[in-house]
Amino acid sequence: MREQVSRVRIIDSHTGGEPTRVVIAGGPALGGGPLSARLARFREEFDWFRSAVVNEPRGSDAVVGALLCEPEDPSCTAGVIFFNNVGYLGMCGHGTIGLLVTLKHLGRLKPGEHQIETPVGNVTARLHETGEVSVDNVESYRTGAGIGVDVPGHGLVTGDVAWGGNWFFLVNEHGMEISLENVERLTEFTWQIRQAITRAGIRGKNGEEIDHIELFGPSKIPGVNSRNFVLCPGKSYDRSPCGTGTCAKMACLYADGKLKEGAIWRQESIVGSVFEGSIKIQDGMRDGHVHPSIKGTAYIDAEGDLILDENDPFRFGITK
C-alpha cells in the first residue's frame, strides 16, 4: 500500500497561528465503523502516512494533521482523525476550527451547526456568518487538584490534572515568563514536568499518559483573562490558545468556583491569538463535569498535493 501512494490532496489553514493540514483525498482506506476503531487501524497499519503528511521535510513539528473520514453517524457532517509529529490526538479544538473553515472553503458546508465525529465522541461545531467557528467540545472535568511533582532543577511544581478531549497537567504557579522570547526555556521546563509526572505515575482517569502540559500567566490584552503556554505531545508548543487545553482549564476553574455557567473566559496564546470560552452544565452530568465551548478563527493558507516520489528517501517523513 505504502508504495502505491504518490499524491495526497491537502488544504492547510492556521487557527490563531497553529497549523492544521486537512487530508481531503489520497488517505488510507480505514474501512467503516466507529472512529476509535478506525484510529486504531490507522495507528497499526498506516502510521507511515501520518509521518509522511506532518513530519519534515514537507511538514514541521507544529503541524496537526486531520484525516477527513466518512462519518458513521449519518447526522454528522464529517468525521475526523487528528494526528501530529509523534502520534494521534483524541480531539483537537484548533483543528476542528480549521476543519470547518476548510469545509467551507471547499463549498461543503454553510454557516450553521454541524456535528463532527471524532474518536472521543461527537462534537458540535458552528460556523458563524462572521467566519468564526464555535466548538462545543466533549464533556470536560478535573481528576486531580494541587498535585505536587518534583521537577529536577526546578523543585516542587504543583498542578491539576484535567480532561478536555486530551489529558492536561495545568500549572498556575511557576515563576516563568510566558513570552515568545522565552519559548526554549518554557519548552525545556514543561518537558521536564511531563517526564516528572510520568515517572511519578500520575495518569489520566483510565491510565492514559498525560501528554499536554499547560502553564498560565497574566495577559496584557484588556478583557483577556490569561495567557498560556501549551506543550504538545511531540515537544512542539501550541501557537493557538489550545482548544482542548482551554476546555481543561475551564473545567478546573469551575471546580474551584472561579467560573460560572455562561461566563466568558478569554484565553490568549503565547503568540497573542485569543479563544473565547464558556461552559454549560446539563441535567444528568456528573458533579464537577462541564460542557465547554470555544470560539476562534482560522484562515486557509495553502492547498495542493503532497508528492511522494518513489526515489525520495524521505518521502515518508523524517522520524526520530
Segment near ligand PYC (CB under 6 A); pick from 91-99, 180-188, 189-197, 249-257: 91-99
Q: State the Cα–Cα distance between residues 146 and 157, nearest whole angstrom.
A: 9
61 torsion bin: left (phi>0), alpha (psi -120 to 50), beta (else): alpha
- Does residue 93 touch ligand PYC according to CB under 6 A? yes
Pair 142, 161: CB distance under 8 Å: yes
Pick one of 244, 269, 273, 293: the residue that binds ligand PYC (CB under 6 A). 244
All cell numbers assigned to 266: 478569554
Site string for ligand PYC, 156-195 (x = CB under 6 A): ----------x-----------------------------
Active site positions, annotated: 92, 242
| Closest CB to ligand PYC among residues 239, 315 | 239
Pick one of 22, 30, 35, 64: the residue that binds ligand PYC (CB under 6 A). 64
Q: State the Cα–Cα distance between residues 21 and 13, nearest whole angstrom.
A: 7
Amino acid occupying residue 243? G
- Does residue 238 touch ligand PYC according to CB under 6 A? yes
Positive/negative CA dihedral, 207, 212, 213, 219: negative
Where are the extended beta strands (E) located within the chain?
7-15, 18-25, 64-69, 76-83, 88-89, 112-118, 121-127, 133-136, 141-151, 155-163, 167-171, 212-217, 226-231, 265-268, 274-280, 291-296, 298-307
- In the region spanning residues 8 to 27, those forming contacts with ligand PYC, defined by CB under 6 A, are 18
- Does residue 242 touch ligand PYC according to CB under 6 A? yes
All cell numbers assigned to 21: 493540514
Q: State the Cα–Cα distance between residues 299 and 209, nearest whole angstrom.
A: 32
Pick one of 232, 255, 270, 279: the residue that binds ligand PYC (CB under 6 A). 232
| Closest CB to ligand PYC among residues 5, 230 | 230
- Does residue 268 touch ligand PYC according to CB under 6 A? no
Using DSSP's 3-state secondary structure scheme, residue 190 falls into: helix
| Closest CB to ligand PYC among residues 173, 301 | 301
| Closest CB to ligand PYC among residues 89, 308 | 89
Pick one of 38, 94, 142, 295: the residue that binds ligand PYC (CB under 6 A). 94
Least distance CB 293 / ligand PYC (angstroms): 13
Q: State the Cα–Cα distance between residues 141 and 143, nearest whole angstrom.
A: 7
The count of residues interacting with ligand PYC (CB under 6 A) is 13
- Does residue 81 touch ligand PYC according to CB under 6 A? no
Least distance CB 187 / ligand PYC (angstroms): 14
Where are the extended beta strands (E) located within 60-99?
64-69, 76-83, 88-89
| Closest CB to ligand PYC among residues 28, 95 | 95
- Does residue 240 touch ligand PYC according to CB under 6 A? yes
Least distance CB 242 / ligand PYC (angstroms): 5
Least distance CB 172 / ligand PYC (angstroms): 20
Provide the 10 A C-beta neighbour count for residue 123: 22
Using CB under 6 A, list all residues that contact ligand PYC. 18, 64, 89, 92-94, 166, 232, 238, 240, 242-244
